[in-house]
Chain A
């Protein structure tokens, strides 16, 4: 039960960041509301199988099993001190009011403070064949394995541009799938150059190296530096074709492809909450401006985890804790300053590591060079690369929202979450301008599609204060 006049703090996202923030807030007696789209807590990285289909944590999470179990057990341990709303979507934010859609239908919830821990999704880039049945993102390939216990195919090719690739490769090989190729679109050299800086987090570096070594030992071909990527097949995936650094084409037969190119922060709710954004040159994407303690530019809106800055699960846990402590301090609640100092030191170390990771896995821009005009770019609305270029050169579409108005790119079901970054890259290249200058798609509710039928009945308003 809420103490009289205790602030209502709402945490959105039950991944590593949201769970750790919730823990701090609950232990301070604030009984936070924790909202998450998934039926069970854990986020994407520590996603759990449905109830009744559990498997051992070591099978699912490998080295990270201990962390996963600790997070999964967290809500059970906190019990009634948290108001957990699972399977619930926050589809809009207006001022201090959240619009929710959960198992009981729609409702609204007012907050005094909001922690957004909305996580990240795969960054998708288009290539010939990317819309063929059998092509997944790396994240989706991993979810299939973790949540449903199935592989995306029996002979798979995996393509990536980040540390997720060796991990998913390892998980697939271990699960018994044949990995025909593990292809890192980024070149090998930057990994050597920036490897030493990754010693800021030696255990993470070692794990990455171990995955690669284990993959090599189990006979999975691992290659680096790809251009000219394409998937071939008649109605479904039959082969992956790529060009190496020396300009030689390779063709690998497979029946499924997992391909994505790093991560993109889910910033839509921060956008609706009024957080100002900045362009991050390192990861080539927009992100909400955030202080090191987690404060956004919007009053009483806090940010933690990959939804604000891509940093990975360990950083998300630290940032979740750190942000909640700052929120408590902001509300005049005493916090342990040595704990904060320790967290800050750990976060600073992780930041150095992260910069090295991003430099080791630079954004594979070259994949977008020379794309054919007839290549599908926005699959929701069926808009091609050529239509984008034509709108840019003949109709004056010189930034993303104009482009959307003229071509429908980003107007469909995904609202640009899938194609938006690629569209911005191609638009900037077409106009020969820096990518930051073409801006980003403005967010509008709902952040994900909402079924009209769910709104037929009555709904509840919580937290209205006279």
Chain B
């Protein structure tokens, strides 16, 4: 039974940013349809580390992250569920003089972007984190950063959007998108959505949507590789990262220690992403050096999922450079979780006003104008980034 639906805005992808955009658009009275291939919030939005972190971000992302940080405080109330947001602070450790200089440089630069960081000396770090196994020369503390449960945030935005009247289609993979001159037509099985505007928030699939409109970009698939222990007595008081990004660990409210271990692998056609045992073991070893007390714990689960990564590690956000009415927001490169709520508002502003007060110029898709798939080489996948 085929169905044809006319809406103001069609959104491809059902992650946190997409569903938050649906909420903001409904609030403004626009009609919205969200088309999600699997489940809302089950992609990169749901399988990440759960860091609600500004420290360490590309400086160009800080205006977005600051805006989002303001929204995180009100998410429980907005969404009607506990997203387990704890302002534990985020601490980034320096293991060398070079690291220390990098942290100090970043602190000075971040201050100009309204992010206040505090440098801690070696003694202060070891006093605060007495269980550290590696000698640390110092650290930078972002007291207002924190952590949350990624599995509940995206689905809660989807439920709210639905309650507010958005049409949410799950298990509805988009097969074709086309410009009709006056708008767009999105085909997904028996469903055809006709819209005035189109938002491409398709995550790892965002490249395909963009390419349809002549904007192919160098997005590569990225699968995180996450590990979790059984619940332990509480001791990891802060969300922890290191310069270089190869170790990151936090402890959930329930007591489980979550840490990252390199990259998983994925088969996009099969819709399958799995953790890599080799990377898990490497991650265990790196984390063990930093947190030797974890030697007494068991890993009970590892997991992976789908995200997309840009070569410059910042997302694509903004109007299409080829097609009026098309707006992109994808390629969050493993650190989109904190940004999601603000991206939703920004997308709604781009639809309604055509512009947003938050500076998004660095994320314009036309920064890849001169890139072509034939000329490119594979990106450096060896970089570990804290997600």
A residues touching B (Cβ–Cβ < 8 Å)? Answer: 91-92, 94, 97, 99, 106, 108, 272, 380-381, 395-396, 401-402, 405-406, 408, 411-413, 415, 444-446, 449-453, 455-456, 459
Contact = CB atoms under 8 A, between A and B. Distances in A.
B302 interface: yes
B340 interface: no
Interface in B241-292: 254, 265, 274-278, 280-281, 284-285, 288
Contacts of B278: 108
Considering the complex of A and B, which 8 residue pairs feature the smallest CB-CB distances, nearest first?
A449-B298, A453-B295, A405-B151, A99-B277, A92-B277, A455-B284, A449-B300, A452-B294
Given A402-B39, A459-B281, 12 more contacts: A94-B274, A94-B276, A405-B152, A405-B155, A406-B155, A408-B254, A446-B300, A449-B300, A452-B284, A452-B299, A453-B295, A455-B284
Interface string B147-179: 000011001000100000000000000000000
Nearest to A97: B277
A114 B294 CA distance: 33
18 contacts: A91-B277, A94-B276, A94-B277, A395-B81, A401-B42, A402-B155, A405-B155, A406-B155, A412-B300, A413-B230, A444-B274, A445-B275, A449-B300, A451-B295, A452-B229, A452-B284, A452-B295, A455-B281
A412 B276 CA distance: 20
A451 B298 contact: yes
Given A396-B159, A412-B230, A445-B302, A452 B277 contact: no
Contacts of B367: none
Given A412-B230, A445-B302, A456-B288, A396 B297 contact: no
B300 A455 contact: no
B46 interface: yes
B288 A452 contact: yes
B301 interface: yes
A432 B219 CA distance: 43
Given A405-B155, A444-B302, A446-B300, A455 B230 contact: no
Contacts of A415: 300-301
Contacts of B155: 395-396, 402, 405-406
B303 A444 contact: yes
A456 B285 contact: yes
A371 B297 CA distance: 34
Contacts of A453: 288, 295-296
A415 B303 CA distance: 12
B277 A449 contact: no
B149 to A, nearest CB: 9
Contacts of B254: 381, 408
A176 B152 CA distance: 53
A2 to B, nearest CB: 24
Contacts of A106: 281
Contacts of A99: 277, 281
A453 B297 CA distance: 7
